[in-house]
Amino acid sequence: MVACSRRRRLIAGAVPMIRCCERQGWKWSLLYLARSRAQAASCEVLLAFGADRVRVHFDDEAGHLFDFSDPSFSVEPGVPIYCCGPAPVMRAVGDFSSNHPDNLAYFEWFSPPVEAGTDEVSTGFDVKLQRSGQIVHVSEGKTILEVLEEHGYELSCSCREGMCRTCETSVIEGTPDHRDYVLSKAEREAGRTMMICVSRARSSMLVLDV
Protein backbone atom coordinates (compact mmCIF):
# COMPACT_ATOMS: atom_id res chain seq x y z
CA MET A 1 0.00 0.00 0.00
CA VAL A 2 2.96 2.34 0.53
CA ALA A 3 3.43 2.73 -3.21
CA CYS A 4 -0.11 4.12 -3.47
CA SER A 5 0.14 6.52 -0.51
CA ARG A 6 1.07 9.36 -2.86
CA ARG A 7 -1.74 8.67 -5.36
CA ARG A 8 -5.28 10.05 -5.34
CA ARG A 9 -8.40 9.24 -7.37
CA LEU A 10 -10.62 12.28 -7.71
CA ILE A 11 -14.27 12.08 -8.72
CA ALA A 12 -17.01 14.51 -9.78
CA GLY A 13 -16.33 18.05 -8.64
CA ALA A 14 -13.25 17.38 -6.51
CA VAL A 15 -11.27 19.85 -8.62
CA PRO A 16 -9.72 21.81 -5.70
CA MET A 17 -7.94 18.61 -4.70
CA ILE A 18 -5.90 18.84 -7.90
CA ARG A 19 -4.12 21.90 -6.53
CA CYS A 20 -3.36 20.05 -3.30
CA CYS A 21 -2.03 17.02 -5.20
CA GLU A 22 0.14 19.22 -7.39
CA ARG A 23 1.60 21.01 -4.34
CA GLN A 24 2.32 17.72 -2.57
CA GLY A 25 3.75 16.06 -5.65
CA TRP A 26 1.10 13.31 -5.58
CA LYS A 27 -0.01 11.48 -8.69
CA TRP A 28 -3.71 11.90 -9.39
CA SER A 29 -6.43 11.08 -11.87
CA LEU A 30 -9.84 12.69 -12.18
CA LEU A 31 -13.20 11.39 -13.30
CA TYR A 32 -15.10 14.60 -14.04
CA LEU A 33 -18.90 14.26 -14.13
CA ALA A 34 -21.42 16.80 -15.35
CA ARG A 35 -24.93 16.81 -16.77
CA SER A 36 -23.71 18.48 -19.97
CA ARG A 37 -20.58 19.98 -21.49
CA ALA A 38 -22.18 23.43 -21.19
CA GLN A 39 -22.48 22.98 -17.42
CA ALA A 40 -18.93 21.70 -16.98
CA ALA A 41 -17.02 24.49 -15.31
CA SER A 42 -13.34 24.75 -16.30
CA CYS A 43 -13.68 21.70 -18.54
CA GLU A 44 -11.09 22.88 -21.08
CA VAL A 45 -8.62 23.68 -18.31
CA LEU A 46 -9.03 20.19 -16.89
CA LEU A 47 -8.69 18.49 -20.27
CA ALA A 48 -5.37 20.27 -20.73
CA PHE A 49 -3.91 17.98 -18.06
CA GLY A 50 -4.22 15.12 -20.57
CA ALA A 51 -6.46 12.15 -21.21
CA ASP A 52 -4.19 9.94 -19.09
CA ARG A 53 -5.21 11.94 -16.01
CA VAL A 54 -8.64 13.37 -16.81
CA ARG A 55 -11.69 11.44 -17.96
CA VAL A 56 -14.95 13.30 -18.52
CA HIS A 57 -18.51 12.02 -18.60
CA PHE A 58 -21.47 14.14 -19.70
CA ASP A 59 -24.86 12.61 -18.99
CA ASP A 60 -26.58 14.13 -22.02
CA GLU A 61 -23.91 12.91 -24.45
CA ALA A 62 -23.66 9.43 -22.92
CA GLY A 63 -27.43 9.14 -22.53
CA HIS A 64 -27.14 7.96 -18.92
CA LEU A 65 -25.57 8.67 -15.54
CA PHE A 66 -22.09 7.32 -15.00
CA ASP A 67 -22.11 3.67 -13.89
CA PHE A 68 -19.45 3.01 -11.25
CA SER A 69 -19.93 -0.74 -11.69
CA ASP A 70 -18.81 -0.49 -15.33
CA PRO A 71 -15.52 -2.39 -15.95
CA SER A 72 -14.09 0.74 -17.57
CA PHE A 73 -13.93 2.34 -14.12
CA SER A 74 -11.24 1.00 -11.85
CA VAL A 75 -9.08 2.23 -9.00
CA GLU A 76 -5.72 0.72 -8.12
CA PRO A 77 -5.88 -1.10 -4.73
CA GLY A 78 -4.75 1.14 -1.90
CA VAL A 79 -5.52 4.40 -3.69
CA PRO A 80 -7.97 6.59 -1.75
CA ILE A 81 -10.94 8.21 -3.50
CA TYR A 82 -11.90 11.85 -2.97
CA CYS A 83 -15.37 12.85 -4.12
CA CYS A 84 -17.39 16.02 -4.14
CA GLY A 85 -20.70 16.14 -6.00
CA PRO A 86 -24.46 15.62 -5.79
CA ALA A 87 -25.87 13.09 -3.34
CA PRO A 88 -26.53 10.34 -5.94
CA VAL A 89 -22.88 10.43 -7.02
CA MET A 90 -21.70 10.39 -3.40
CA ARG A 91 -23.88 7.36 -2.68
CA ALA A 92 -22.61 5.55 -5.78
CA VAL A 93 -19.00 6.21 -4.82
CA GLY A 94 -19.75 5.06 -1.28
CA ASP A 95 -21.16 1.82 -2.63
CA PHE A 96 -18.07 1.35 -4.82
CA SER A 97 -15.79 1.90 -1.82
CA SER A 98 -17.82 -0.57 0.27
CA ASN A 99 -17.28 -3.19 -2.41
CA HIS A 100 -13.59 -2.29 -2.67
CA PRO A 101 -12.35 -1.97 0.96
CA ASP A 102 -8.81 -1.13 -0.23
CA ASN A 103 -10.14 2.11 -1.71
CA LEU A 104 -11.32 4.27 1.16
CA ALA A 105 -13.63 7.08 0.05
CA TYR A 106 -13.54 10.62 1.43
CA PHE A 107 -16.43 12.96 0.77
CA GLU A 108 -16.90 16.72 0.81
CA TRP A 109 -20.54 17.55 1.53
CA PHE A 110 -21.66 21.14 1.22
CA SER A 111 -24.64 20.35 3.50
CA PRO A 112 -25.87 17.23 5.29
CA PRO A 113 -27.85 14.97 2.93
CA VAL A 114 -31.55 15.03 3.76
CA GLU A 115 -31.87 11.25 3.81
CA ALA A 116 -28.85 10.76 6.06
CA GLY A 117 -28.68 10.88 9.82
CA THR A 118 -30.61 8.92 12.42
CA ASP A 119 -33.92 9.01 14.24
CA GLU A 120 -32.59 7.00 17.17
CA VAL A 121 -32.92 8.48 20.63
CA SER A 122 -29.67 9.82 22.05
CA THR A 123 -28.72 8.56 25.51
CA GLY A 124 -25.80 9.35 27.74
CA PHE A 125 -22.64 7.24 27.87
CA ASP A 126 -19.10 7.31 29.22
CA VAL A 127 -15.86 7.85 27.33
CA LYS A 128 -12.50 6.68 28.62
CA LEU A 129 -9.47 8.48 27.26
CA GLN A 130 -6.83 5.85 26.58
CA ARG A 131 -3.79 8.10 27.01
CA SER A 132 -4.70 9.58 30.41
CA GLY A 133 -7.18 7.04 31.73
CA GLN A 134 -9.67 9.85 32.43
CA ILE A 135 -13.36 8.97 32.15
CA VAL A 136 -15.89 11.62 31.11
CA HIS A 137 -19.66 11.41 30.77
CA VAL A 138 -21.37 12.48 27.55
CA SER A 139 -24.95 13.49 28.30
CA GLU A 140 -27.90 13.33 25.92
CA GLY A 141 -27.53 16.92 24.73
CA LYS A 142 -23.74 16.97 24.27
CA THR A 143 -21.32 15.58 21.72
CA ILE A 144 -18.08 13.82 22.59
CA LEU A 145 -16.16 16.70 21.06
CA GLU A 146 -18.01 19.30 23.15
CA VAL A 147 -17.45 17.38 26.37
CA LEU A 148 -13.74 16.93 25.72
CA GLU A 149 -13.39 20.62 24.90
CA GLU A 150 -15.12 21.46 28.19
CA HIS A 151 -12.48 19.36 29.93
CA GLY A 152 -9.68 21.38 28.34
CA TYR A 153 -8.79 19.20 25.36
CA GLU A 154 -7.85 20.98 22.13
CA LEU A 155 -8.84 18.65 19.31
CA SER A 156 -8.84 19.07 15.55
CA CYS A 157 -12.28 19.84 14.16
CA SER A 158 -13.87 21.80 11.35
CA CYS A 159 -17.45 21.24 10.19
CA ARG A 160 -18.92 19.84 13.47
CA GLU A 161 -21.54 18.10 11.34
CA GLY A 162 -19.79 14.84 10.49
CA MET A 163 -18.95 15.84 6.93
CA CYS A 164 -15.18 16.43 6.81
CA ARG A 165 -13.30 13.75 8.83
CA THR A 166 -11.19 16.38 10.63
CA CYS A 167 -12.20 15.09 14.08
CA GLU A 168 -11.82 11.39 13.16
CA THR A 169 -10.71 9.47 16.25
CA SER A 170 -9.61 5.85 16.71
CA VAL A 171 -11.85 3.59 18.81
CA ILE A 172 -9.98 1.22 21.15
CA GLU A 173 -13.00 -0.45 22.76
CA GLY A 174 -16.76 -0.13 22.59
CA THR A 175 -19.32 0.16 19.80
CA PRO A 176 -19.79 3.53 18.07
CA ASP A 177 -23.17 4.80 16.93
CA HIS A 178 -22.09 6.32 13.62
CA ARG A 179 -23.98 9.48 12.65
CA ASP A 180 -21.53 10.98 10.19
CA TYR A 181 -21.72 11.29 6.40
CA VAL A 182 -18.18 10.26 5.45
CA LEU A 183 -17.37 6.75 6.65
CA SER A 184 -17.87 3.92 4.20
CA LYS A 185 -20.05 0.92 5.04
CA ALA A 186 -16.93 -1.17 5.63
CA GLU A 187 -15.47 1.42 8.00
CA ARG A 188 -18.73 1.64 9.95
CA GLU A 189 -18.89 -2.12 10.33
CA ALA A 190 -15.25 -2.29 11.44
CA GLY A 191 -15.92 0.28 14.17
CA ARG A 192 -12.27 1.25 14.49
CA THR A 193 -12.79 4.97 13.99
CA MET A 194 -15.52 7.58 14.48
CA MET A 195 -16.34 11.26 14.08
CA ILE A 196 -16.59 12.59 17.62
CA CYS A 197 -18.37 15.77 16.52
CA VAL A 198 -21.65 13.89 15.88
CA SER A 199 -21.36 10.14 16.51
CA ARG A 200 -22.28 8.56 19.81
CA ALA A 201 -22.09 5.13 21.48
CA ARG A 202 -24.16 1.97 21.34
CA SER A 203 -22.24 0.56 24.28
CA SER A 204 -22.23 2.09 27.76
CA MET A 205 -18.61 3.13 27.34
CA LEU A 206 -16.19 3.94 24.56
CA VAL A 207 -12.43 3.88 24.91
CA LEU A 208 -10.91 6.39 22.52
CA ASP A 209 -7.33 7.10 21.44
CA VAL A 210 -7.22 10.56 23.01
Q: What is the pLDDT of residues 72-98, one digit of tens each?
A: 999 999 998 988 877 788 888 988 988
Cβ-based neighbour number of residue 168 at 10 Å: 18
d(CA 159, CA 143): 13
Name the residue ranges covered by the structural domains of the chain.
Answer: 2-107, 125-208
What does the pLDDT look like over 11-69, one tens digit per residue?
976 667 788 788 888 899 999 988 888 877 778 888 889 999 999 999 999 999 899 99
- Determine the pLDDT at residue 13: 63
Q: How many CB atoms lie within 10 A of CB 100?
A: 18
* Domains 2-107 and 125-208 fall in the same CATH topology: no
Mean pLDDT of all residues in 183-209: 93
Residue 157 has pLDDT above 70, yes or no: yes
d(CA 83, CA 164) in angstroms, rounded, equals: 12
CATH topology of domain 2-107: Rossmann fold (3.40.50)
According to CATH, the superfamily of the domain at 125-208 is: Beta-grasp domain (3.10.20.30)
* Greatest CA separation for the chain: 59
User: Considering the entire predicted model, what is its pTM?
Assistant: 0.56
